[in-house]
């Protein structure tokens, strides 16, 4: 196999694998509907990118890799099948790479990108391969090849592709109902995580502050526990405090005090995310002072509390789109921001808004003001019978409104000159809006 074609190559998961395969000496090509920062970066590596999908693009390919968004009917997919070219999903390629090395798979409904990015940053000194779902500032990319035989990757439960993995070690940050358009029920999600645990060969480091995680671990001998609230856990973060806008805390492992750590991103949820990172980095021989320094400098993966502008007014871009993520992000912001906090939220998918509507109750409590944008459909049709007005009613926030015009939001933010933190939240096009506003502020 020499030539690999990626359909949907600019996706954050696809582009990372394309980079790894290119670094391993394969001829890599791919296609996507439009250009992005990812296509520019891939072309700089010598990867040929086709804008638009055309069946002729896959001619001569030995293997075709498709993103989960690519279905039957795509001309490149159909041509590959017709010509007898092997077609696999992104998750299958990730598994082919990880399963032959000492893999560390990071799973969970929330926090897996931050945790896998943090783990990669903490373990850079041992030269791991890294493939995550966000841009890690420490490597300036979402992927890098390594020579140690350690492979750190984000494990995606949204379409059950994490079940292709047979990693040596795993982290489970939490389990909640999400992506029900794929899973159908929470019970199916739970069964998938149980199977993921069974497939992990050596050790599973799990967050027992999460009731749903604690419910499924039983007496599994492969499980190592961590937590903030659960003092009986093997890895415990305690004495949480904020100093100079930074999260500070003490870490105990097996009852032994490892010391104080300072984390460069806000929120108790991120302190929790750091606990398995500290444990596994130590286990793989990283010096504790290197870990401490990496966490202190860690500013999060791109789109995880990503500060775009900070001159009186602060503009933050964050991927939070599930109610639990929104609540945690706002709580973290409240703990470190002295400014008034304005949350600008773009709901993601009509199906998610419908299935999780009641969970939005009280999630915006950490914001002084909330602006709700129209739903980012992600290809779905508006046929789930849920409205933005329903969201306003459920939220029970006293200062919340709908704004359908992006230009009005731009003008609203740019017209302010007082101390306000604007927190743009969502998994859709709101990130581009946040960047436009930040550029406008810079003049």
Q: Is 111 assigned to a binding site?
A: yes
Q: Which of 39, 113, 173, 224 is catalytic?
A: 113
Catalytic annotation present for 112? yes
302 in catalytic set: no
Percent of the chain topping pLDDT 70: 99
Quick: pLDDT tens for 268-282. 999 999 999 999 999
Q: Which of 19, 41, 102, 112 is catalytic?
A: 112
- Residues 42-85: tens digit of each pLDDT: 999 999 999 999 999 999 999 999 988 888 899 999 999 999 99
297 is catalytic: no
- Whether the per-residue pLDDT at 1 is higher than 70: the answer is no
Given the residues 76, 102, 138, 154, select the one marked as catalytic: 154
Give tens-digit pLDDT for 289-325: 999 999 999 987 666 788 899 988 999 999 889 898 8
pLDDT digits (tens, 9 = 90+) for 162-220: 999 999 999 999 999 887 777 789 899 999 999 999 999 999 999 999 999 999 998 89
Average pLDDT of the chain?
Answer: 92
Q: List, for residues 135-144, the tens digit of each pLDDT value.
A: 888 888 889 9
Q: What is the pLDDT of residues 325-356, one digit of tens each?
A: 899 889 888 887 888 999 999 999 999 899 99
pLDDT at 122: 96
Residue 37 pLDDT more than 80?
A: no
Q: What b/e string do you get for 252-287 counting C-beta neighbours within 10 Å, with b at 16 or more? A: bbeeeebeebbbbbbbbbbbbbbbbbbbbbbebebe
Give the model's pLDDT for residue 415: 79
Could you give the domains of the chain? 3-88 (3.40.50.720), 99-297 (3.40.1190.10), 306-442 (3.90.190.20)
Looking at residue 194, what is its pLDDT?
A: 96
CB atoms within 10 A of CB 401: 11
Query: Residue 248 pLDDT > 80, yes or no?
Result: yes
Q: Which residue has the higher pLDDT, 416 or 323?
A: 323
**What is the greatest pairwise CA distance in the chain?**
62
**pLDDT of res. 294:** 96
The single residue listed with the structure tokens 């039957």 is 72
Residue 114 annotated in ligand binding: yes
Answer yes or no: is 30 a known binding residue.
Answer: no
Q: Is 387 annotated as a binding residue?
A: no
Q: Does residue 86 register a pLDDT over 90?
A: yes
pLDDT band at 159 (very low <50, low <70, confident <90, very high): confident
109: annotated binding-site residue?
yes
């Amino acid at each position: 196999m020499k030539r690999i074609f990626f359909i949907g190559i600019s996706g954050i998961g696809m582009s990372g694998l394309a980079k790894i395969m290119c670094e391993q000496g394969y001829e890599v090509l791919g296609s996507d509907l439009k250009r992005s920062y990812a296509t520019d970066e891939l072309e700089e590596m010598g990867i040929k990118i086709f804008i638009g999908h055309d069946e002729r693009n896959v001619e001569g390919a030995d293997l075709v890799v498709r993103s989960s968004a690519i279905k039957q009917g795509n001309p490149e997919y159909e041509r590959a099948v017709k010509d007898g070219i092997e077609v696999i999903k992104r998750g299958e390629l990730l598994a082919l790479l990880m399963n032959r090395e000492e893999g560390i798979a990071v799973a969970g409904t929330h926090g897996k990108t931050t945790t896998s990015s943090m783990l990669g940053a903490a373990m850079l000194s041992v030269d791991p391969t890294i493939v995550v779902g966000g841009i890690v500032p420490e490597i300036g990319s979402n992927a890098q090849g390594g020579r140690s035989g350690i492979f750190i990757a984000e494990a995606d439960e949204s379409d059950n592709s994490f079940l292709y993995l047979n990693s040596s070690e795993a982290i489970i940050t939490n389990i909640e109902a999400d992506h029900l358009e794929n899973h159908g029920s929470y019970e199916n999600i739970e069964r998938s995580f149980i199977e993921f645990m069974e497939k992990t060969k050596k050790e599973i480091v799990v967050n027992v502050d999460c009731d749903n995680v604690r419910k499924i671990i039983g007496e599994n001998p492969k499980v190592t526990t961590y937590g903030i609230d659960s003092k009986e856990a093997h890895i415990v973060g305690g004495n949480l405090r904020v100093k100079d806008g930074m999260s500070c805390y003490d870490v105990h492992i097996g009852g032994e005090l490892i010391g104080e750590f300072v984390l460069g991103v806000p929120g108790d949820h991120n302190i929790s995310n750091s606990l398995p990172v500290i444990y596994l980095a130590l286990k793989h021989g990283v010096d504790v002072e290197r870990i401490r320094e990496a966490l202190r400098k860690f500013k999060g993966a791109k789109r995880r509390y990503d500060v775009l502008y900070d001159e009186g007014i602060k503009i933050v871009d964050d991927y939070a789109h599930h109610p639990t993520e929104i609540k945690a992000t706002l709580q973290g912001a409240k703990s470190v921001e002295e400014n008034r906090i304005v949350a600008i939220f773009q709901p993601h998918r009509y199906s998610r808004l419908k299935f999780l509507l009641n969970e939005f109750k009280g999630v915006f409590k950490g914001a002084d003001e909330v602006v709700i944008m129209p739903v980012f459909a992600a290809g779905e049709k508006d046929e789930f019978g849920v409205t933005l007005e329903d969201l306003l009613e459920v939220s029970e926030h006293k200062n919340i409104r709908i704004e359908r015009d992006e230009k009005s939001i731009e003008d609203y933010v740019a017209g302010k000159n007082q101390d306000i933190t604007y927190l743009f939240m969502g998994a859709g096009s709101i990130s581009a809006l946040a960047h436009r506003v930040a550029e406008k502020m810079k003049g």
